[in-house]
Amino acid sequence: MENQDELCDTTHATYTCFENNTKMTLCLRPLQQVHVTNWSLDGIAGLPEGGQLDMAQLGLKDELSMRVRVGRNLTTFPLPGAMTKAQRIEFEQTMLKAFALLVQDPAYGGAIHSLTPHADWKEVTGAAENPNLMTPEKYDALVKAHVMFKVCI
């Protein structure tokens, strides 16, 4: 068999499979292409003049609602499935700072609706009330509008 190093100019690593003690050599090639994120909409067919996705210009007349879902963890917190109640509330407090900036910006606006009960909020933060806890009426309205998932308890 030819010398693996003569076949290509890459880095090689040999691993042993513990199940049957066989060896496997991986040929690790350097990355040839680099992904570049491009948020430009130039050249995309069907966009309104100026390239702005104005929902009213696209025919949507009703108010548009957007949910922000945080699916990744911050380095300070574990993944959501491994969080304690206290970590979840601390995570919510951390994200509130970023969300508050969006709410204050006229280009975004909106509101913050929390599901964390006052008692849990007080237990973790010491504050008597969760300032963003939505009312039951607001919750029901968001569920009816298909903006909020129905919480199963």
Among 48, 49, 5, CA closest to 27: 5
Banded model confidence at residue 121, pLDDT cuts 50, 70, 90: very high
Phi first, then psi: give them for residue 26, nearest 5 degrees: -105, 135
For 100, residues 6+ apart whose C-beta sits below 8 A from its C-beta are 112
Distance CA 25, CA 28 (A): 9
Q: Of 89 and 58, which is predicted with more confidence?
A: 89
Res 5: pLDDT = 44
Exposed/middle/buried for 17, CB within 10 Å: 0-12, 13-18, 19+? Answer: exposed
Q: Over pLDDT 90: what percentage of the chain?
A: 24
pTM of the predicted model, to two decimals? 0.51
